[in-house]
Amino acid sequence: QVQLVQSGAEVKKPGASVKVSCKASGYTFINYYMHWVRQAPGQGLEWMGWINPNSGGANYVQKFQDRVTMTTDTSINTAYMELSRLRSDDTAVYYCARDDTALEDWGQGTLVTVSS
């Protein structure tokens, strides 16, 4: 069965960067785009972008364009989302999700807390 296992919770200071990992299993990693979605405390879902593991090409939401980098390591079936110049309003749970018919499979989420 498909599994997406994300890295653990992070606490960062404003201005720092965070890199969240998402290890995939149970399917052919390079055949499906990986999306990243975040959810601030008590708020709704916000799509951040996707990466194509086969080509490395990515598509980011404009608001994150200059701060986010999505990458993959196909040798270990892992996707990464790095967000730089963190602010307090980046405090959120970050999810990876596999794109098939829609966002069919999700990681368990990674809480990133930005606090001085």
Partner 1 sequence: DIQLTQSPSFLSASVGDRVTITCRASRGISSYLAWYQQKPGKAPKLLIYAASTLQYGVPSRFSGSGSGTEFTLTISSLQPEDLATYYCQQLNSYPITFGQGTRLEIK
Q: What does residue 96 show for φ and ψ, rounded to 5 degrees? A: -100, 150
Residue entry with tokens 């596999």: 98
Is 55 a binding residue for partner 1 by CB under 8 A? The answer is no
Residue entry with tokens 């608001």: 63
Applying CB under 8 A, among 51, 103, 112, 114 the residue interacting with partner 1 is 103
Q: Residue 74 in contact with residue 30, Cβ under 8 Å? A: yes
Shorter beta-carbon distance to partner 1: residue 28 or 59: 59
Q: Which residues bind partner 1 (CB under 8 A)?
A: 35, 37, 44-47, 59, 61-62, 95, 97, 101-104, 106-109
